[in-house]
Chain A
Amino acid sequence: MSISEKEVRHIATLANLALSDAEIGQMTRELGAIVGYVEQLSEVDTEGVDPIAQVTGLVNVTRADEPGPMFAPREALANAPKADSVAFLVPKAVER
């Protein structure tokens, strides 16, 4: 199964990537080849096989809900491209 340019544009939107037309063209070819390769999994009989996500057998790891050391706002904001003293600053998200 190949993948269409329209699908690639849809995936780019889902992935929040503003790709150029040249990149869309390249991705369409390359993703098509990779998707074609992974199609071989359809050969494997997995009827009744329980999919596995966690290979060392851990389930529902919890810890005591106790307060511990945390970053001060100044430290947490130190890496932000744009911030004031208490918050990350971003372009306006809601139009009035």
Chain B
Amino acid sequence: MNTARAIAAAVNGGAPARAAVEISLARAEADTHNAIIRIHRERALNAADAVQARVKAGEFLPLAGVPIVVKDNISVRGMPATACSKILTGYVAPFNATAVERLEAAGAVVVATSNMDEFAMGSSNETSVFGPVRNPVDPTRIPGGSSGGSAAAVVAGIAPIALGSDTGGSIRQPASLCGCVGLKPTYGMVSRHGLIAFGSSLDQIGPLTTTVDDAALCLDIMAGTDIHDSTSAPRQHVALAPMLAGDPIAAIKGLRVGFVPEHREGLQPEVRARLDSTLESLRKAGAELVEVHVPHERYAIAVYYIVATGEAASNLARFDGVRFGHREDADSLHGMYAKTRASGFGTEVKRRIMLGTHVLSSGYYDAYYKKAMAVRRRLCDDFSAAFTKCDVLLGPTSPTTAFKVGEKTADPLTMYLSDIFTIAANLVGIPGISVPAGSDNQGLPIGLQLQAAQWGEAALLRAAAGIAALGR
């Protein structure tokens, strides 16, 4: 599949808007990885025709005729949005998420809905009510999660852009394991309106793409304050994609690239080798390498599984069989709630609701939740200090390449630990991007993660484009 930039240029230049959309629809229909759970053929073709008419009338649309795939927890008007959970069976979104609204206004065409871990709770895309997604690079392996369907769709060439959501690495980790670009913006850069909430202080919508330029192009459309999300930042977005024009390797010169020596411990050897060789290539290209330390990062997973589950337990209280989705019959109101929730949520979601309820409950709140929020503050301070010494931080996205389907499902804690490098960015609100960086000796993709200070997307994307160019 062509890049979003190439498709939009062709359509703005007079090529038929249905062209890329038809290819995308055909590939979605031929999907063998369970990446796609719904295809919106009629809606997509009508939207393509509307784009065609707007272009013909003289409008320039930055994403004219670009097919996009949308994760099942992001609302698209008139289409089901179920977060891949039984409890939202039959729910049809009556409105567009702000991100979708802005992308459609820019000419993008929603072609399909992607599979995901139920309520975005998972690191392997095995908790979906629609069954696991397979990694297109090796179908015996997981694609990562929770935006596993979005990553698989991009890598399988179904669309140049797939939307994901990232609460603890759910965009970056699957991008790494499938071999594409995955960007989690600064908290508040993209409106969360229309995203089915998991952890409200952590969630961000972001793009999965094949190029850094397409990720920037997509983010530029979605970014900006929104009256429907009080946590969206009241600031003017400065377009990022134009900053990437020019020689990406020359742009690395003078960039201060931080690395954390502790990140090298416990990595699969090929991941470590790729991290080391990339740092060396950056140094040769004129970057300044800076050793930094983030002492509280080792506590990030513990903080996360208190904060995220506490927020999830509160957010998911709304699913009670009254206003939408699945309902079990019972004689009493409370019986109906409890039966509906017990049969509507999957095991992982129930586990997290239980944990979150526990850490917020009377007698435990101070010991768990309040303590976690204090450690979160210390983690924020660590990163603030690190970013006075460097412009970006480079490290691994995931300690290993893609693992086998079923390998980690028996032990939830082991699964949680696979997010060790991605979770801090959500707790601290900073942007992170995973960029492809070769493969291991079995041909499985390796991803490297860049992080920057809040609102540091310009340096982040410049460094990401540089790494992508150095790898070519």
Contacts and interface: CB of A to CB of B under 8 A. Distances in A.
A binds B: yes
Interface of A: 3, 7-8, 11-12, 14-20, 23, 27, 30-31, 33-35, 37-38, 40-42, 44, 46, 49-56, 58, 61, 63, 71, 75-76, 78-82, 88, 90-93
B302 A37 contact: yes
Nearest to A45: B378
A92 B355 contact: no
B187 interface: yes
A56 B186 contact: yes
B149 interface: no
The CB with the most chain B CB atoms within 10 A, among A14, A20, A52, is that of A52
A46 B303 CA distance: 13
A38 B306 contact: yes
Nearest to B428: A55
A78 B93 CA distance: 10
Contact of A58 (B90, B188, B427): B188
Interface stretch (B172-180, B331-339, B401-409, B461-469): B331-339
23 contacts: A11-B361, A16-B338, A17-B342, A18-B335, A31-B355, A34-B305, A37-B302, A37-B305, A37-B413, A38-B302, A38-B372, A51-B374, A52-B377, A53-B201, A55-B187, A55-B429, A58-B188, A58-B234, A79-B91, A88-B322, A90-B322, A91-B332, A93-B333
A11 B358 contact: yes
B23 interface: no
Contact of B375 (A8, A41, A53, A55): A41
Contacts of B428: 55
Given A38-B306, A49-B377, A56 B358 contact: no
Contact of A52 (B231, B373, B416): B373
A18 B377 contact: no
B354 A12 contact: yes
Contacts of A82: 327
Contacts of A76: 94
A63 B412 CA distance: 42
Majority-rule SS of A interface residues: loop
Contact of A46 (B90, B301, B374): B374
A51 B429 CA distance: 15
B321 interface: yes
B376 interface: yes
Nearest to A61: B230
Interface residues of B, number: 70
Given A11-B361, A34-B416, A81-B324, 14 more contacts: A8-B354, A17-B345, A17-B350, A20-B342, A23-B350, A37-B302, A37-B413, A41-B302, A41-B371, A41-B375, A49-B378, A54-B231, A56-B188, A80-B324
B339 A15 contact: no
Given A15-B313, A38-B302, A53-B201, A27 B354 contact: yes
B320 interface: yes
Interface of B: 90-92, 94, 186-188, 201, 227, 230-231, 233-234, 296, 299, 301-303, 305-306, 313, 317, 320-327, 329-339, 341-342, 345, 350-351, 353-355, 357-358, 361, 368, 370-378, 380, 412-413, 416, 427-429, 454
B299 A18 contact: no
B90 to A, nearest CB: 7
A46 B234 CA distance: 31
Given A44-B378, A79-B90, A88 B323 contact: yes
Contacts of B373: 51-53
A15 B357 contact: yes
Given A3-B358, A17-B338, A41-B299, A58 B321 contact: no
Contacts of B336: 90-91
Contacts of A31: 351, 354-355, 358
A56 B412 contact: no
7 smallest CB-CB distances across A and B, nearest first, come from A51-B373, A55-B429, A46-B374, A18-B338, A81-B327, A79-B324, A61-B230
B188 A38 contact: no
A2 B143 CA distance: 33
Contacts of A14: 357, 361
Contacts of B329: 91
The CB with the most chain B CB atoms within 10 A, among A55, A71, A93, is that of A55
Contact of A44 (B296, B361, B380): B296
Contacts of B299: 40-41, 44
